[in-house]
Structure 1
Amino acid sequence: VLKLMIIVDDVGGLIPKISHSPWDGATLADFVFPFFLFVVGISLAFAYKRVSNRVSATKKAVLRAGKLFLLGLLLQGGFFHNIHDLTYGVDIGKIRLMGVLQRIAMAYLVVALCEIWLRDGREDGIGSGYAIIRKYRCQLLVGLVLTSTYTVILYCLPVSDWVYNVTSSDSTMKHFVVKCGVRGHTGPGCNVVGMIDRSIFGIQHLYTRPVYLKTEWCSIDSPNNGPLPSDAAPWCEAPLSIQRAS
């Protein structure tokens, strides 16, 4: 997974076919994050195979998740700058709150708690077929509830219109209105994921260089980054969620 991550990060800019898909579709780079989470889940199964003290194990899991969250906040929150953009200090009002590592930390904590508190303590063999389902019935139930809840929210919750302002390079303020009023939309501008992130974290704390900037709506050089087209979508200059809605 680490080798794949290095390849897509270093070569993806030169070969768009393996770089992140602008929105719909999947490329080689789009498999890195799911594979990484899969490895995290597998490692947790071994790490918590035998838990003598669930309270102590829970404290360790919370501590590890907290460290990973803080590391993500430090690395992706704006504390580090590009080599050609040497500035000092961080604007707390615009710091990126939920980067990749922060989301991995949350997923790690949920899965770790499931492994600690819901694991079947019996050491008998897993077996096959129904025996596997019976042994991991609680974990499967948690996964089913989370997946079902996400699906219902994604396709049933209405997304209202929203507005934002952008300060251009000449210090002029531009005002944008994004018309939504839809349900179940999975495009960049009117999906539920973006609406929830804007409501909870605030639009100023979202990612300012999301992959949707490579779409034909926002780039004349799509699937590469480029200047905005003359008929660019009204949400193209807004920071949105780091991930796709689906």
Structure 2
Amino acid sequence: MIRVIVADEDQFVRHALTGILEADGGIHVVAQAADGREAVEGARRFAPDVVLMDVRLPRLDGLAAARQIHQALGSRTRVVFLTAHDEDAVITEAVRTGAAGFLLKHTRPAEVVHAVHTVASGQCTLSPEVTGRVLRALRDHAPAPSPDQRTRLDSLTPRERAVLAMLATGSSNQEIARALTLAEATVKGHVTRILIKLDTDNRVKAALLAHRAGLTRTAPNHGGGLPTSLGDGLAA
């Protein structure tokens, strides 16, 4: 059972989300929070698997609340933002807090439920509408690969480099499997090993590193050079 806290200023939204999540059968909402401080207090008290919350919250905004939750609980509790605020600065800062997901409020209920399951399993998720914007913003302000990162990239096998190059263009595991004539399970295994070798915990960070290292120049482009959708989540 996935334990969730729902945090939103609007009581109707909190109750609606609770009903949607509880109807799944595999999710239990352990608490609701009307502001950021309540979200942090609830997280400390219940140590949930996931906190699903808005960015704009009274008393303590969601970004600050996410940082406090991560400081208190580390990776045990995953934060997913569900918000109507899609400004680039808000989105990129939300990712920088270490959030496992960022969804817009017009996301379909079934996709919200799927996102909770995704992040609870250790992966991450972004709404397709914001993924490319996040990557562009982070890439444009990111430094070139460090010597250590170069060494890690050099440790990849030729097959892993091919998988990483396609991953960085937005290809799903299924698309990579089709292009490289591999089983999808094999691709998933490659992605997992790539993340371990690069010492990163999600596909976005791996994609950024691949872009900065110039690996995408040799990959078939399925996503316009930057992912606009990460249907496999951001992890393997």
Flag whether TM exceeds 0.5 (same fold).
no
TM-score w.r.t. structure 1 length? 0.23
Larger Rg: 1
Answer 1 or 2: which has greater helix percent.
2
